[in-house]
Amino acid sequence: MLTDVSIIPAILATTEDEYREKIEKVSTCPGLVRPERGRRAEGWVQIDIMDGKFVPNKSVGLDVIRKYPTILQKEAHLMVEDPSKWVEDLVNLGFERIAVHAEVDRKEAMDAVDLINKLKKKSILALNPETPVEQYKYFEAVVYGVLVMSVHPGFSGQEFILASVDKVKKVKDYALPNTFVGVDGGIDENSAKLLSNAGADYLVIGEHIINGNIAENLEKIRQSLRD
């Protein structure tokens, strides 16, 4: 029985109203918010940031994110062409982990990773479904983790790509020891169990958690991992 996999809700929002509704919903969910060590929370939230160029969709900007703080620890998923230009502002907004895509210009991606590390935050390399695991080798010495995309990034509600399960296994075999491996996109109770068995350390889930009762949706996912 595997119960140590972290479940992280994802917020993909294209309007301020949508962002406010989602961040308030996850920030008040008892299944996510268990304050420890002062004002820090045990739970995490991943916030998608899209520039309309790297992916054909555009999210709310940092001005909106700044307006609605959360006790949850924050991970940013940068779906942008120029991730290094976003890093300092994200760190100033309290983001602890930042995912940069391997598919952007390699120097640009490396500059972003180096800056994240310099600012003492955790850098994560995101791999699109079609991107081979071997791209990780260029970053293996400097990134904290790998985020396997199990959908094509940019839009919520997509169907889970089953080949992602084998990709997670390959990343776990290929990556340096103790590399933190996450999966993002289209995950439900069934695919969560498969990914957990494949060795994933955390699962990023959007609609299957946020739509409806978050606490109940979380428990369904967690129960699937216990079964």
Please tell me the pTM assigned to this model.
0.94
Rounded to the nearest 10 degrees, what angle do helices 189-198 and 163-174 cross at?
A: 20
| Per-residue pLDDT at 155 | 87
Query: In the chain, what are the domains?
Result: 6-226 (3.20.20.70)
Could you report the per-residue pLDDT of 184-193, keeping only the tens digit for each?
999 999 999 9
| Per-residue pLDDT at 111 | 98
Confidence grade of residue 33 (pLDDT, cut at 50, 70, 90): low
Over 70: is that where the pLDDT of 34 sits? Answer: no
Over 90: is that where the pLDDT of 100 sits? Answer: yes
Higher-pLDDT residue of 168 and 207 is 168
| Cβ partners under 8 Å of residue 159, min gap 6 | 151, 186
Over 70: is that where the pLDDT of 37 sits? Answer: no
Mean per-residue pLDDT of the chain:
93
- Catalytic residue set: 48, 184
Over 70: is that where the pLDDT of 35 sits? Answer: no
Q: Which residue has the tokens 């996510």?
A: 32
Out of 13-17, 180-184, 215-219, pick the least confident: 215-219
Could you report the per-residue pLDDT of 143-154, keeping only the tens digit for each?
999 999 999 998
Q: What would the two tokens of residue 187 be?
A: 């995950």
Mean pLDDT computed over 100-115: 98
| Per-residue pLDDT at 4 | 79
> Rounded to a whole number, what is the distance in angstroms from the first to the last CA of the chain?
6
Neighbour-count burial for 50-81, b at 16+ CB within 10 Å, e otherwise: bbeebbebebbebebbeeeebbbbbbbbbbbb
C-alpha angle 64-221-5 in degrees, rounded to nearest 5: 85
| Per-residue pLDDT at 157 | 79
Distance CA 12, CA 221 (A): 20
Over 50: is that where the pLDDT of 2 sits? Answer: no
| Per-residue pLDDT at 106 | 96
| Per-residue pLDDT at 123 | 98
Mean pLDDT computed over 126-133: 98
Distance CA 206, CA 157 (A): 8
Distance CA 38, CA 77 (A): 26
Residue pair 44/29 in contact by the 8 Å Cβ criterion: no
Q: What would the two tokens of residue 182 be?
A: 């996450």
| Per-residue pLDDT at 38 | 44
